[in-house]
Amino acid sequence: MPVGTLANVKTVTPQQLAQTNAEMVLANTYHLHLQPGEDLVAEAGGLHKFMGWSGPMLTDSGGFQVFSLSKIRTITEDGVTFKSPRDGRMIHIRPETSIQIQNDLGADVIMAFDECPPYPCGYDAVKASTDRTLRWLQRCIEAHQRQDQALFGIVQGGVYPDLRRQAALDLAKLDLPGYAIGGVSVGEPPALIEKIVQATAPCLPENKPRYLMGVGTYKEMAQAIAAGVDLFDCVIPTRLARHGAALVAGDRWNLKNQRFRRDHSPLDDTCPCYTCQNFTRAYICHLIHSKEMLAFTLLSIHNITELIRFTQRIRAAIVADTFTTEFAHWLTPNSPEASPSHISP
């Protein structure tokens, strides 16, 4: 799912986004609450009409901002109080508040409000946070008012497999429409992300969507899919584009590099995207050095298409029962940057 934090995927139009074969888009509850406000979005007919996207949409809950804005927030059992980075006012978000905002925004899938602990974080602190996330989930379920929106719960538990497994089993008992694995990619090594997913995903129902939040590299996605994950979101394709980088066949290319200055071939001659069908590496290199915004649009279109093609190839390989052989390169374990003692209580 491409990330459209403020009801737009950066530098691309909804029409361009649809042409990448993106099937679902993510937006951010916290940031849309600050600007323009869920009341205005509801007045416009909901997120789909507001941003001109007719496909499925997901809104996160604001729980990630509990982690990312730790310097300007305080947590209590009731909820989280943030100091607005826009105007300094204090904003209190309870689980019920997050659900009300998301009900007003009108996405198809909404996320429960959770506490995302940082890395590193001690076992006792993570356990307390994980227990609170479960209590908040129960409040979210009670507050949820729209039957046309699917409410997903989020598994937390830091890097501790026993906490992850228990949280997953607790959530599974609630029989929600779908489940997410949160609190990864918050600073921990890739080897720990792999262990977290392998410990968590098998504990979630097989007949419900499993969503790994904030992950979007080739290797991490392939390994998570092998563990049973279905959905991903990440800012990687558009963020790399804004830094002049392209994703090509599993590599990252810096199009600022002078080696592309006279290269008149497409980024990837196997790619069907608008960028590869119409423009060359030399042209994109020229746009970047000329500081033209079109460079970021063309690279975003390609990068989004590339990651979606990657997952489409995996889907086809699963159907053909060739996944483990075709994608063996991406399924090799990450180097163990932490011993098991680092992820067990």
Please write the tens of the pLDDT for every residue from 106-146: 999 999 999 999 999 999 999 999 999 999 999 999 999 99
Regarding whether 285 and 225 lie in a shared domain, the answer is no
Regarding whether 225 and 89 lie in a shared domain, the answer is yes
Q: How many domains does the chain have?
A: 2
Regarding whether 115 and 39 lie in a shared domain, the answer is yes
Both tokens of 29, joined, read 């509850």
Q: How far apart are CA 220 and CA 155, in angstroms?
A: 18
Regarding whether 243 and 207 lie in a shared domain, the answer is no
**What is the pTM for the complete model shown?**
0.94
Q: How confident is the model at residue 337 (pLDDT cuts 50, 70, 90)?
A: very low
Helix, strand or coil for residue 100?
helix
Residue 51 CA neighbour count, 13 Å, CB half: 27
Regarding whether 263 and 226 lie in a shared domain, the answer is no
Q: How confident is the model at residue 24 (pLDDT cuts 50, 70, 90)?
A: very high
Query: What mean pLDDT is predicted for residues 204-232?
Result: 97
Q: What is the pLDDT of residue 322?
A: 98
Q: How confident is the model at residue 344 (pLDDT cuts 50, 70, 90)?
A: very low
Regarding whether 243 and 217 lie in a shared domain, the answer is no
**Residue positions annotated with a catalytic role:** 60, 233
136 burial type by CB count under 10 A (0-12 exposed, 13-18 middle, 19+ buried):
buried
Q: Look at residue 261 and tell me whether its pLDDT is greater than 50.
A: yes
CB 162 within 8 A of CB 123: no
- The pair phi, psi for residue 230, each rounded to 5°, is -115, -35
Both tokens of 30, joined, read 């916290």
> Which one has a higher pLDDT value, 63 or 103?
103
Which residues form the domain of 202?
A: 14-234
Regarding whether 82 and 217 lie in a shared domain, the answer is yes
Name the domain boundary from 185, 210, 234.
Answer: 234
Q: What is the pLDDT of residue 86?
A: 83
Mean pLDDT of the chain: 94
